[in-house]
Amino acid sequence: MKTKDLIAEVISLPVEDRTMFVDLLLKSLNQPESEIEKKWVEVSKRRLAEIRSGEVKTIPGEEVFEKIWNKIP
């Protein structure tokens, strides 16, 4: 299959499939280091547990950005 044909085929896919295709393609270019990836998974799981338990309170994104914009002169 020619590259041009492959591109046409991918573009014709539903958006969810195109998103998956792009994600897989990017991952093939930027292979994550397994040890670093494992540490990020551990941190993510811990943070999610903290949020779900109520130990940590979340702040809505709008509020965060409003505070940032208010600090910019």
- Over 90: is that where the pLDDT of 27 sits? no
Burial tier of 60 (Cβ tally within 10 Å: 0-12, 13-18, 19+): exposed
Q: Supply 44's token pair.
A: 């993510």
Q: Supply 69's token pair.
A: 């914009």
pLDDT, the chain, mean = 91
- Over 90: is that where the pLDDT of 58 sits? yes
Residue with tokens 């991918």: 10
Residues 6 or more apart in contact with residue 13 via CB below 8 angstroms? 21
Residues 6 or more apart in contact with residue 55 via CB below 8 angstroms? none
